[in-house]
Amino acid sequence: MEIIVVTGMSGAGKSGAINCFEDIGYYCIDNLPPLLIQNFVDLIRRSKWEMERAVFVIDIRGGGFFGDLRDSLNGLSEAKLDYKILFLDASDKVLLRRFSETRRNHPFGGKLTNLEAIRMEREKLSEMKKAADFVINTSNLKPAETNEKIRELFFAGEKADDFKINVVSFGFKYGMPAEADMVFDLRFISNPFYVSGLKHLTGNSETVREYVMKWPESSFFRDTVLALVERISPCYVREGKYHLNIAFGCTGGQHRSVSMAHAFFSELSEKGYNVTLIHRDL
Protein backbone atom coordinates (compact mmCIF):
# COMPACT_ATOMS: atom_id res chain seq x y z
CA MET A 1 0.00 0.00 0.00
CA GLU A 2 1.29 3.43 -0.94
CA ILE A 3 0.77 6.00 1.81
CA ILE A 4 1.23 9.74 1.49
CA VAL A 5 1.08 12.05 4.48
CA VAL A 6 0.18 15.61 3.49
CA THR A 7 0.96 18.30 6.02
CA GLY A 8 2.13 21.90 6.04
CA MET A 9 1.10 25.44 6.77
CA SER A 10 -2.56 26.38 7.14
CA GLY A 11 -3.57 28.23 3.98
CA ALA A 12 -0.83 26.67 1.86
CA GLY A 13 -3.25 24.61 -0.25
CA LYS A 14 -3.86 21.30 1.50
CA SER A 15 -7.59 21.32 0.65
CA GLY A 16 -6.77 21.69 -3.03
CA ALA A 17 -4.18 18.93 -2.72
CA ILE A 18 -6.85 16.57 -1.39
CA ASN A 19 -8.99 17.21 -4.45
CA CYS A 20 -6.02 16.60 -6.72
CA PHE A 21 -5.15 13.29 -5.06
CA GLU A 22 -8.78 12.17 -5.21
CA ASP A 23 -8.89 12.95 -8.93
CA ILE A 24 -5.76 10.86 -9.38
CA GLY A 25 -7.31 7.92 -7.55
CA TYR A 26 -6.07 8.09 -3.97
CA TYR A 27 -8.34 7.43 -1.00
CA CYS A 28 -8.09 10.60 1.11
CA ILE A 29 -8.77 11.24 4.78
CA ASP A 30 -8.58 14.80 6.05
CA ASN A 31 -7.63 15.87 9.60
CA LEU A 32 -7.03 12.32 10.83
CA PRO A 33 -5.59 11.98 14.36
CA PRO A 34 -2.11 10.50 13.75
CA LEU A 35 -2.65 7.66 16.24
CA LEU A 36 -5.42 6.32 14.00
CA ILE A 37 -3.19 5.88 10.95
CA GLN A 38 -2.03 2.42 11.99
CA ASN A 39 -5.59 1.46 12.99
CA PHE A 40 -6.82 2.43 9.53
CA VAL A 41 -4.07 0.48 7.79
CA ASP A 42 -4.78 -2.60 9.95
CA LEU A 43 -8.48 -2.33 9.11
CA ILE A 44 -7.73 -2.30 5.38
CA ARG A 45 -5.40 -5.28 5.72
CA ARG A 46 -8.07 -7.33 7.49
CA SER A 47 -10.82 -6.44 5.04
CA LYS A 48 -11.39 -7.62 1.48
CA TRP A 49 -11.08 -4.05 0.25
CA GLU A 50 -8.02 -3.80 -1.97
CA MET A 51 -6.75 -0.27 -1.42
CA GLU A 52 -3.53 0.48 -3.26
CA ARG A 53 -2.91 4.07 -2.17
CA ALA A 54 -4.12 6.42 0.52
CA VAL A 55 -3.52 10.03 1.56
CA PHE A 56 -3.70 11.24 5.15
CA VAL A 57 -3.89 15.00 5.67
CA ILE A 58 -2.55 15.78 9.13
CA ASP A 59 -1.78 19.23 10.51
CA ILE A 60 -2.07 21.43 13.57
CA ARG A 61 -5.89 21.36 13.40
CA GLY A 62 -5.51 18.11 15.33
CA GLY A 63 -4.35 20.09 18.34
CA GLY A 64 -2.57 17.89 20.87
CA PHE A 65 -2.94 14.87 18.60
CA PHE A 66 -0.48 16.36 16.10
CA GLY A 67 2.40 15.61 18.45
CA ASP A 68 1.74 11.90 17.93
CA LEU A 69 2.58 12.08 14.22
CA ARG A 70 6.23 11.14 14.54
CA ASP A 71 5.41 8.05 16.62
CA SER A 72 2.74 7.02 14.12
CA LEU A 73 5.16 7.34 11.22
CA ASN A 74 7.75 5.29 13.10
CA GLY A 75 5.07 2.64 13.52
CA LEU A 76 4.52 2.54 9.76
CA SER A 77 8.25 2.09 9.21
CA GLU A 78 8.38 -0.78 11.71
CA ALA A 79 5.48 -2.41 9.87
CA LYS A 80 7.53 -2.08 6.67
CA LEU A 81 4.94 0.18 5.06
CA ASP A 82 6.24 2.67 2.54
CA TYR A 83 5.16 6.26 3.05
CA LYS A 84 6.11 9.69 1.77
CA ILE A 85 5.61 13.10 3.39
CA LEU A 86 4.46 16.06 1.29
CA PHE A 87 4.83 19.44 2.97
CA LEU A 88 2.96 22.43 1.54
CA ASP A 89 4.38 25.82 2.42
CA ALA A 90 3.94 29.49 1.52
CA SER A 91 5.41 32.78 2.68
CA ASP A 92 3.94 34.57 5.69
CA LYS A 93 2.85 37.45 3.44
CA VAL A 94 0.95 35.16 1.09
CA LEU A 95 -0.67 33.23 3.93
CA LEU A 96 -1.84 36.48 5.53
CA ARG A 97 -3.36 37.57 2.23
CA ARG A 98 -5.16 34.25 1.78
CA PHE A 99 -6.66 34.37 5.27
CA SER A 100 -7.81 37.93 4.55
CA GLU A 101 -9.34 37.01 1.20
CA THR A 102 -11.23 34.04 2.62
CA ARG A 103 -12.18 35.98 5.77
CA ARG A 104 -11.05 33.11 7.96
CA ASN A 105 -8.94 33.09 11.08
CA HIS A 106 -5.90 30.93 11.53
CA PRO A 107 -6.73 27.59 13.25
CA PHE A 108 -4.67 28.68 16.27
CA GLY A 109 -6.88 31.75 16.45
CA GLY A 110 -7.72 32.73 20.00
CA LYS A 111 -5.94 35.82 21.27
CA LEU A 112 -3.22 35.66 18.61
CA THR A 113 -3.20 37.72 15.45
CA ASN A 114 -3.01 35.75 12.21
CA LEU A 115 0.64 36.71 11.80
CA GLU A 116 1.50 35.53 15.31
CA ALA A 117 -0.40 32.30 14.72
CA ILE A 118 1.39 31.69 11.40
CA ARG A 119 4.80 32.16 13.02
CA MET A 120 3.89 29.84 15.89
CA GLU A 121 2.65 27.21 13.44
CA ARG A 122 5.81 27.50 11.34
CA GLU A 123 7.91 26.87 14.45
CA LYS A 124 5.87 23.81 15.42
CA LEU A 125 6.13 22.38 11.89
CA SER A 126 9.84 23.04 11.39
CA GLU A 127 10.93 19.50 12.23
CA MET A 128 8.23 17.97 10.05
CA LYS A 129 9.31 20.16 7.13
CA LYS A 130 12.89 18.92 7.52
CA ALA A 131 11.65 15.31 7.50
CA ALA A 132 9.46 15.79 4.41
CA ASP A 133 10.29 13.93 1.22
CA PHE A 134 8.79 16.69 -0.89
CA VAL A 135 8.20 20.38 -0.20
CA ILE A 136 6.04 22.52 -2.49
CA ASN A 137 6.02 26.26 -1.93
CA THR A 138 2.69 27.52 -3.27
CA SER A 139 3.37 31.24 -2.77
CA ASN A 140 3.55 31.99 -6.49
CA LEU A 141 1.50 29.06 -7.79
CA LYS A 142 -2.05 28.97 -9.04
CA PRO A 143 -4.09 25.99 -7.76
CA ALA A 144 -3.76 24.29 -11.15
CA GLU A 145 0.02 24.72 -11.05
CA THR A 146 0.17 23.21 -7.56
CA ASN A 147 -1.87 20.25 -8.80
CA GLU A 148 0.47 19.81 -11.73
CA LYS A 149 3.47 19.64 -9.40
CA ILE A 150 1.68 17.03 -7.29
CA ARG A 151 0.93 14.98 -10.38
CA GLU A 152 4.54 15.20 -11.51
CA LEU A 153 5.72 13.94 -8.12
CA PHE A 154 3.24 11.14 -7.54
CA PHE A 155 1.63 10.23 -10.83
CA ALA A 156 4.37 10.49 -13.44
CA GLY A 157 4.06 7.99 -16.27
CA GLU A 158 0.54 6.79 -15.41
CA LYS A 159 -1.75 8.16 -18.07
CA ALA A 160 -4.51 5.55 -18.49
CA ASP A 161 -6.98 7.32 -16.20
CA ASP A 162 -5.41 10.73 -16.54
CA PHE A 163 -8.23 12.47 -18.37
CA LYS A 164 -11.80 11.28 -18.67
CA ILE A 165 -14.17 12.17 -21.50
CA ASN A 166 -17.89 11.64 -21.04
CA VAL A 167 -19.82 11.45 -24.32
CA VAL A 168 -23.56 12.10 -24.00
CA SER A 169 -26.40 12.02 -26.52
CA PHE A 170 -29.62 13.93 -25.81
CA GLY A 171 -32.76 15.42 -27.35
CA PHE A 172 -33.15 19.20 -27.45
CA LYS A 173 -36.86 18.94 -26.77
CA TYR A 174 -36.02 17.51 -23.34
CA GLY A 175 -33.50 20.23 -22.51
CA MET A 176 -29.71 20.40 -22.70
CA PRO A 177 -27.55 18.48 -20.19
CA ALA A 178 -26.65 20.87 -17.36
CA GLU A 179 -23.26 19.23 -16.84
CA ALA A 180 -22.12 19.56 -20.48
CA ASP A 181 -18.89 21.45 -21.18
CA MET A 182 -19.44 21.33 -24.94
CA VAL A 183 -22.78 21.03 -26.74
CA PHE A 184 -23.08 20.25 -30.45
CA ASP A 185 -26.28 20.51 -32.47
CA LEU A 186 -26.66 17.68 -35.01
CA ARG A 187 -29.93 18.85 -36.49
CA PHE A 188 -28.05 19.84 -39.67
CA ILE A 189 -27.86 16.12 -40.60
CA SER A 190 -30.66 14.42 -42.53
CA ASN A 191 -33.08 12.90 -40.00
CA PRO A 192 -33.59 9.08 -40.12
CA PHE A 193 -36.95 9.67 -38.42
CA TYR A 194 -38.41 10.51 -41.83
CA VAL A 195 -36.91 7.46 -43.57
CA SER A 196 -39.12 4.42 -43.94
CA GLY A 197 -37.74 1.52 -41.92
CA LEU A 198 -35.55 3.71 -39.71
CA LYS A 199 -38.15 5.74 -37.82
CA HIS A 200 -38.72 3.15 -35.12
CA LEU A 201 -35.04 2.23 -34.76
CA THR A 202 -32.39 4.19 -32.83
CA GLY A 203 -28.76 5.11 -33.20
CA ASN A 204 -27.90 1.83 -31.50
CA SER A 205 -28.81 0.19 -34.78
CA GLU A 206 -25.98 -0.26 -37.26
CA THR A 207 -28.38 0.59 -40.09
CA VAL A 208 -29.23 3.96 -38.55
CA ARG A 209 -25.57 4.74 -37.83
CA GLU A 210 -24.63 3.97 -41.43
CA TYR A 211 -27.35 6.32 -42.64
CA VAL A 212 -26.31 9.16 -40.32
CA MET A 213 -22.60 8.86 -41.05
CA LYS A 214 -22.87 8.42 -44.83
CA TRP A 215 -23.24 12.16 -45.44
CA PRO A 216 -20.03 14.15 -46.15
CA GLU A 217 -20.99 16.75 -43.55
CA SER A 218 -21.26 14.02 -40.89
CA SER A 219 -17.73 12.72 -41.37
CA PHE A 220 -16.41 16.29 -41.68
CA PHE A 221 -18.07 17.21 -38.39
CA ARG A 222 -16.76 14.08 -36.64
CA ASP A 223 -13.17 14.62 -37.79
CA THR A 224 -13.19 18.34 -37.02
CA VAL A 225 -14.51 17.98 -33.48
CA LEU A 226 -12.22 15.02 -32.80
CA ALA A 227 -9.23 17.14 -33.78
CA LEU A 228 -10.50 19.91 -31.50
CA VAL A 229 -10.90 17.56 -28.52
CA GLU A 230 -7.46 16.06 -28.99
CA ARG A 231 -5.90 19.50 -29.23
CA ILE A 232 -7.50 21.00 -26.14
CA SER A 233 -7.52 17.97 -23.79
CA PRO A 234 -3.98 18.68 -22.53
CA CYS A 235 -5.06 22.28 -21.88
CA TYR A 236 -7.83 21.09 -19.58
CA VAL A 237 -5.36 18.94 -17.65
CA ARG A 238 -2.92 21.84 -17.43
CA GLU A 239 -5.64 23.95 -15.83
CA GLY A 240 -6.47 21.22 -13.30
CA LYS A 241 -9.61 19.84 -14.96
CA TYR A 242 -9.56 16.08 -15.42
CA HIS A 243 -12.84 15.40 -17.16
CA LEU A 244 -14.64 16.76 -20.21
CA ASN A 245 -18.37 16.34 -20.89
CA ILE A 246 -19.25 16.43 -24.59
CA ALA A 247 -22.94 16.41 -25.52
CA PHE A 248 -24.44 15.72 -28.95
CA GLY A 249 -28.05 16.76 -29.43
CA CYS A 250 -30.73 16.22 -32.02
CA THR A 251 -34.49 16.75 -31.86
CA GLY A 252 -35.51 13.71 -29.81
CA GLY A 253 -32.20 12.15 -28.84
CA GLN A 254 -32.94 8.91 -30.70
CA HIS A 255 -31.13 8.81 -34.03
CA ARG A 256 -28.53 11.42 -35.04
CA SER A 257 -27.16 12.27 -31.59
CA VAL A 258 -26.93 8.60 -30.60
CA SER A 259 -25.17 7.70 -33.85
CA MET A 260 -22.59 10.50 -33.52
CA ALA A 261 -22.02 9.71 -29.85
CA HIS A 262 -21.27 6.10 -30.84
CA ALA A 263 -18.84 7.32 -33.49
CA PHE A 264 -17.00 9.54 -31.00
CA PHE A 265 -16.91 6.86 -28.36
CA SER A 266 -15.34 4.39 -30.82
CA GLU A 267 -12.77 6.86 -32.15
CA LEU A 268 -11.70 8.08 -28.70
CA SER A 269 -11.52 4.54 -27.31
CA GLU A 270 -9.28 3.45 -30.18
CA LYS A 271 -7.00 6.41 -29.45
CA GLY A 272 -6.60 5.25 -25.84
CA TYR A 273 -8.75 7.82 -24.05
CA ASN A 274 -10.67 6.97 -20.90
CA VAL A 275 -14.16 7.53 -22.27
CA THR A 276 -17.74 6.77 -21.23
CA LEU A 277 -20.91 6.74 -23.34
CA ILE A 278 -24.37 7.77 -22.09
CA HIS A 279 -27.60 8.08 -24.10
CA ARG A 280 -29.62 10.33 -21.82
CA ASP A 281 -32.96 10.26 -23.65
CA LEU A 282 -32.81 6.93 -25.40
Q: Is the pLDDT of residue 152 over 90?
A: no
Q: Is the pLDDT of residue 64 over 70?
A: no
Q: What is the pTM of this model?
A: 0.60
What is the per-residue pLDDT for 66?
65
Q: Cβ-count burial of 51 within 10 angstroms (0-12 exposed, 13-18 middle, 19+ buried)?
A: middle
Domains and CATH numbers, the chain: 2-154 (3.40.50.300), 164-279 (no CATH)
Pair 272, 216: CB distance under 8 Å: no
φ, ψ dihedrals at 226, nearest 5°:
-60, -45
The identity of residue 10, as a single letter, is S
What is the average pLDDT score of the chain?
A: 87
Q: Is the pLDDT of residue 180 over 50?
A: yes
Per the model's pLDDT, the better-predicted residue between 237 and 261 turns out to be 261
Per the model's pLDDT, the better-predicted residue between 190 and 66 turns out to be 190
Interval 15-62: pLDDT, tens? 999 988 988 788 899 988 888 888 888 888 777 777 778 899 988 776
DSSP secondary structure code for residue 75 in this structure? H
